[in-house]
Amino acid sequence: MAETKNTGSDELELSDELIGKRAYFTRLEDATREDWRLILSNYRPWARALSNRVLAHLRLLEGEHGGNPVDRLQHCLQTATLALRDGRDEEYVVCALIHDIGDTLAHGVYTGYYWFQYLGTDRNKRDDLRSHPWWGDLEDFCLKYDCAAFNPHYESMTLEEFEPMLHRVFAKPRASLYTKADG
């Protein structure tokens, strides 16, 4: 069956009374308008707790050092502390704090310059990114904060000190698929 294009708004009134309940469809296309009201009502508090989930992921980095002088959590705390003490704004500091959650960030390519040759791969892989408009920002971040954050003797701020900042930044998404066009 051909899909009909419907760009009109049919905004649902969400309800806290639906939190914790479940819909019973077995295929997404069978979900009714009421099912979506239930799902979106449950989504709202879940979305608000995003910063708590980010914090939980950060804590998973504790103790994981991979042979480095500091573990990944200490590295992240040190990166964020260096950025904060260099006068960066809150959003930048929080991004620095969480930059090593996950493995696929571009700085891995950037810092690979120091170790890719020991894997027998191309250490200059990062040159592919040089023409990107954000190259300068990437280089700045890596050289000033990321690469400098392996010092076991540096006095980093604690995760607890960064927590209020993290909650504030995640409370105000800059852009989301789920926010209305008029904000």
Would you count residue 98 as binding Fe ion (CB under 5 A)?
no
Measured from the CB atom, the residue of 77 and 100 that comes closer to Fe ion is 100
Query: Closest approach of Cβ 102 to Fe ion, in Å?
Result: 11
Part in contact with Fe ion (CB under 5 A); list of ranges 36-44, 96-104, 114-122, 165-173: 96-104
Q: Tell me how far, at minimum, the Cβ of 165 lies from Fe ion, in Å.
A: 18
Residue with tokens 């959590």: 73
Choose the stretch contacting Fe ion; rule: CB under 5 A; options: 41-49, 52-60, 98-106, 124-132.
Answer: 98-106
Distance separating alpha carbons of residues 152 and 30, to the nearest angstrom: 55
Which of 96, 146, 169, 170 lies at the binding interface for Fe ion (CB under 5 A)? 146
Contact between 51 and Fe ion by CB under 5 A: the answer reads no
Q: Which of residues 61-90 bind Fe ion (CB under 5 A)?
A: none
Which pair of tokens denotes residue 142?
């890596």
Tell me the closest approach of the beta carbon of residue 56 to Fe ion, in angstroms. 19
Phi and psi torsions of 99, nearest 5°: -65, -20
Taking each continuous run of H as one helix and of E as one strand, the counts in the chain are 7, 0
Residue 100 is a binding residue for Fe ion (CB under 5 A):
yes
The nearer residue to Fe ion, 110 or 170, going by C-beta atoms, is: 110
DSSP line for 51-106: HHHHHHHHHTTTT--TTSSS-HHHHHHHHHHHHHHTT--HHHHHHHHHTTSSS--H
Burial 44-53 (b: 16+ CB within 10 A, else e): eeeeeeebee
Site size toward Fe ion, by CB under 5 A: 2
In Å, what is the CA distance from 87 to each residue of 92, 129, 136? Answer: 10, 26, 18
Q: Considering the complex, state which of residue 38 and residue 99 has its C-beta at the smaller distance from Fe ion.
A: 99
Q: Which residues bind Fe ion (CB under 5 A)?
A: 100, 146
